[in-house]
Amino acid sequence: MSTEALDENEILDDAELKMDAAVDHVRGEFGKIRTGRANPQLITDLKVDYYGAPTPLQQLAGVSVPEPRMLVVSPYDRSAMRDIERAISTSDLGLTPNNDGQVIRVVFPELTEERRKQFVRLARERAEEGRVAIRNVRRSARTAVGKLADSGDIPDDEAQRAEVRLQELTDRYVAQVDQVLANKERELLEV
């Protein structure tokens, strides 16, 4: 992004979009952290070795949730069933698939207290990565605004107002990450 062509409002708008994307990314990462309930998002991105090429599961099969603690994977191509089953069982999700020749059933066992705590730690790590991403966006936007002020393209008071707005944006998006984390922790620790 060339700062010469941008004003401080465009820089702030761009920063806001990037911060929003960081929060969305954290939400997506949280969707991949297993709770006691079945969630198709946990396995749809798994890579399946399909004819020698790593292929996302969602391209090879439909995934449904017939019961709160069960996923049913319906392969589009029956010859991929073993590969899909292998990808699910070798993932770090701790799931055991059952193949009946037509579909693959994945039952979610109850999480132990220790496993719940491991998932909470993982969620906290993902949230911190999101916060760091937001702060990195703030730093690059602050640098861009500083360059505009140094070159005389905007007055110093406008640069200061832009930095205040930037900090408000940062605080708002970090709070969103914290709220998403609190919700995920509550969901993980609920028995």
* Assigned CATH for 8-32+112-189: 1.10.132.20
**Taking the model in full, what pTM does it have?**
0.72
- 96-99 sheet: strands from edge to edge: 61-67, 70-75, 104-107, 96-99
Nearest-5° Cα angle at 24, 105 to 68? 25
pLDDT tens sequence across 69-90: 888 999 998 888 999 999 888 8
* Assigned CATH for 41-107: 3.30.1360.40
CB 27 within 8 A of CB 39: no
pLDDT classification of 95: cutoffs 50, 70, 90:
confident
Output the pLDDT for position 29. 87
Distance CA 6, CA 19 (A): 18
| Out of 39-43, 142-146, 151-155, least confident range | 39-43
Output the pLDDT for position 169. 95
Domain ranges in the chain are: 8-32+112-189, 41-107
- On the question of a common fold for 8-32+112-189 and 41-107, the answer reads no
